[in-house]
Structure 1
Amino acid sequence: MSSSHQAQTSPGVSSNSSSMSNSSLSGSSNHWSQKKHESVLDFSKLSQIDLEKLLLTRLQGGSENGQFVYLSSEFEPAYLNFSTNSRLAPNEIVLEIQSNKISGYTLFDCIDLLGKLYKSNKAITFRSVRYISQHLQHDLRPYLDARFHKGSIDYDLQQTIRENVYMRTVPCTTRLPRTGEINGQDYIFLSDEQFLELEQSGELLEYGVYNGHYYGTPKPPRRAINLLSTCSSQLQSPKISDINSKRNQSLNMMHNNVQGMIFVFFSMNGSVLLF
């Protein structure tokens, strides 16, 4: 959990912070940063329908699923036109798109970004990780669990993930609201039992205990994507024109993956989870 305080242990819910120290391999060939590369994809010969198929059938993950955005194992770079020798490859984690650091983005937001870039830029730069090591996998939670030294590559990536996630969800806590705090906007205020059920359902990216109260970061809400009726595949494609990012408006999304509970999440304007 993004806190300057060390979480206390408590019955029922324990902190998911790992005791893993900062990776000392950042300068070695085994560290994920040494596998990062840049690819420039030329979209000039790619139709919008082909782009839509590429986006939804070949991009997976997203923070709403507790994952980095990554390329599926079925991704086929051979039919795409790259203007660099370096090419995207299956299972790669995408860290940046046209200088936008997307770790912590939802899949919806990543698709939205690419759709907008397609309209204004025919050549789009991707920065991705070619090799997925034990220190950087598709799942966000193990990476967020680890502790890294401030200023390290891993620490900076952790912060990027958290900043992007906090713009897309509202933290939850079991403490009472303070003066001026609004439920569903500053925090979602829960009972201990509700928090425990949320944690056990796997809906929290991070959680911990501070001053006897539980704090957690829920996954951002899943957002519906309008699909092309002409696509017969189970993995259908979105209409790029129908994807409209509304980061500065209330999402008003019912997030009801937890049995017996329904939560309303709102987007935040750069809010940061502070204790």
Structure 2
Amino acid sequence: MPSSVREKPSWWFKVQETVIRRDGTGDLGVTVAGGADRGEFPYLEEVRPGKVHCLSGDLHPGDLILEVNGTPVFGLTLGDTLGVLRTCRDPIRLKTVTPGAALSKDLCEYLNKSFQSGSADSELQQVIRENLYLRAIPCKLNQ
């Protein structure tokens, strides 16, 4: 395989794009949980039937949220992820994936895996680390 062609991980082919919009009150019809501050990918905790206005695609409870309108949210805190959702204009494009053996909601587990340099998984780890470092507070411990 040529070096310019990156092998995609198995979960990559299961990524879904869903387009949703808010209702008249501004509600998206979903509850988001997780986040880096909890050691998890952000995920859909609840998808309220009849309240989610999907223009295309489908959402399921437990799906991991990878992007919101092109902004990677893996590695962001829950508050930051909710902030991205709040500031997006309708329609909102969500890239999600159903967790499985290769990609669970456990962020620490994923960051502890070893991947070939330059692979899609390795690049995802790098983006997660960059997002985590945005919120890292350096401190000196007194000993």
> TM-score, with normalisation over the residues of structure 1?
0.47
Question: Could you tell me how far 1:79 is from its partner in structure 2?
Answer: 2.6
Q: Does 1:41 align with 2:25?
A: no
Report how many residues are paired.
137
Q: Does 1:106 align with 2:98?
A: no
Moved over 4 A (4+): none
Give the partner amino acid of 2:48. Answer: E
Q: Which residue of structure 2 aligns with residue 188 of structure 1?
A: 139
Alignment counterpart, residue 136 of structure 2, candidates 148, 164, 169: 169
Q: Which residue of structure 2 aligns with residue 71 of structure 1?
A: 44
Give the partner amino acid of 1:82. Answer: C
Question: Could you tell me how far 1:77 is from its partner in structure 2?
Answer: 4.5
Q: Which residue of structure 2 aligns with residue 95 of structure 1?
A: 66
Distance (whole Å) between structure 1 residues aligned to residue 140 and residue 101 of structure 2? 35
Give the partner amino acid of 2:19. Answer: V
**Relative CO higher for 1 or 2, CA cutoff 8 Å, sep ≥ 6?**
2
Consecutive unaligned residues of structure 2, counting only runs of 5 or more, are 1-6
Consecutive unaligned residues of structure 1, counting only runs of 5 or more, are 1-23, 171-186, 195-275
Question: Could you tell me how far 1:136 is from its partner in structure 2?
Answer: 0.9
CA deviation vs aligned residue, 1:140-173 (integer Å, no higher than 9, x gap): 1110000111221111110111000000113xxx
Q: Which residue of structure 1 aligns with residue 33 of structure 2?
A: 60
Percent identical among aligned pairs is 33
User: What SS is found at the alignment partner of 1:137?
Assistant: coil
Q: Does 1:156 align with 2:123?
A: yes
Distance (whole Å) between structure 2 residues aligned to residue 99 and residue 137 of structure 1? 21
Q: Which residue of structure 2 aligns with residue 239 of structure 1?
A: none
User: What SS is found at the alignment partner of 2:65?
Assistant: strand
Q: Which residue of structure 1 aligns with residue 4 of structure 2?
A: none
Which structure would you say has the larger Rg? 1
Tell me: CA distance 1:169–1:137, structure 2 relative to 1, closer, same or farther (3 Å). same
Are the equivalent residues in 1 in contact too, given 2:19–2:55 (CA < 8 A)? Answer: yes
Are the equivalent residues in 1 in contact too, given 2:8–2:120 (CA < 8 A)? Answer: no
Q: Which residue of structure 2 aligns with residue 128 of structure 1?
A: 96
Tell me: CA distance 1:25–1:160, structure 2 relative to 1, closer, same or farther (3 Å). closer
